[in-house]
Amino acid sequence: MSSMIHRRFIALACAAAGLALVAACQSKPPAPAASTAALPTMERVALGASGCWFKSGDPAFKAYRLAPELNSFSGRPRILLVPRKSPEARPLAVIEAEGHPARLQAFGPLLSEPVGTRIATDVRRWAAGGQGCS
């Protein structure tokens, strides 16, 4: 009787190991698409801007500071670019999103400057789920 139990145990252990092996060989499910709601979109934009424009030491953004305002009660999370030496001053650029899917809007005098085209291109890329710096 114990020999029979032993054989069943071995058979079950082999079956479990086989299932584990098959499961390990299966391809991983595709990563979920980037959320298109306003907050996750602006979180991606803020992370991209922080890393590519400011933490990288990019000279085009040396005179500015990033001021994220993602916890918005108005339902419009946004990021601001303000003068580095006067963070309380009027923003030079405002990038905000609203709705699901997010509708982005950017405005401010900095967008009329030569760096404005780059800001718009980077923001569109990050909002769409792209990564990296230009």
pLDDT of residue 3: 59
How far apart, in whole angstroms, are the C-alpha atoms of residue 71 and residue 11? 56
**Whether the Cβ atoms of residue 98 and residue 76 lie closer than 8 Å to each other:** yes
81 CB-contact burial (10 Å; exposed 0-12 / middle 13-18 / buried 19+): buried
Query: What pLDDT digit, counting tens, does each position of 44-90 carry?
Result: 999 999 999 999 999 999 999 999 999 978 889 999 999 999 999 99
